[in-house]
Structure 1
């Protein structure tokens, strides 16, 4: 009888020990799964950060990328294949962006938002430029500008702005954009121009009205304001036409 009781007590102790060991394993296993889920979220955030930084292609100076972290309540198994990332706004360089993150094994997808800020090199007016004026090298400069100060179509090359016409008046320290510029016609239709005629070493000057736009060395028609005769000439300078 005593031996039977002893055996039962031994079995009970062994069972309790096994139970405690199993509980410990389950606790460690559950913590490992939880750690893997957290690690998966951290990996997603890092992948999105790296993807956006690479997509900026060095156009942004000292970029600031703020990732909007996914909720820690989100349960995602660890991805066993490389993550696939794609921007929903391909042409958007800054501001709020949304990145699609996909895993193929196991199959899941999430969207991660991010805010991008920083500086870009942009052409800026050093001084005021009047409407219809030709933009000279001393009028502009290239300098870093905050992304919040630029608009779509800002220009990053001085050569793309020099010799263009200002479509409207441009204030000093203004970031120059494409809509502010006009094709660099030296002669504008319906505007007054100087007519020059050279005869036997003499230069005769009069005025006329251009009947069409003309760039440097292009032929245009001009109505002589004195004789009302239409003549053809070559554009040799801004608002100046040479009549052979």
Structure 2
């Protein structure tokens, strides 16, 4: 009989939930906010120079969390990539209900990137110098087109379209090589580099392929813009 009783106690202990030995406590709203922020932060993939601000929905006066057995489960409610507005699911086992408690929390994500902006109104045909440029953090959803974060890379480029003060300078505002400009033409192989002069036959920005004319041979070549007044013929 004694052996049977001991075995019964063993079976009873095995059948109890694992959280029965843990104390159920009501999590604070600050704890819920922090858990939600961490869940979102794990899924954010941005460049190292970005500023990221994660703001959970304010629940003050609107929610009293029940007692929870640890751990509290936190996950994004959707498998999609993190956007400006996200939803986090929070749940836990609780002695206060016969079923798991859960809630959905809205979490806002603001991401800003350092971009080059105009310090004053820029006019067409203006050649950019350092005083014309500044770095400002701009919301990623406000950025359209090719933008820049290195002031030095824009020095000497020419403005094609009017740019308002404090507005981001994008690729379509500029030409690094402008039609009719004299340009340095580079041709590289594994062993040698050749440099000659030529004329740009159309406008071009960094990475764009344009037509140029070799001043010595008068041959027209296709070259890629690599800098202000510089193009490269890919061998």
Name which one, 1 or 2, has greater alpha-carbon Rg.
1
TM-score by length of 1: 0.45
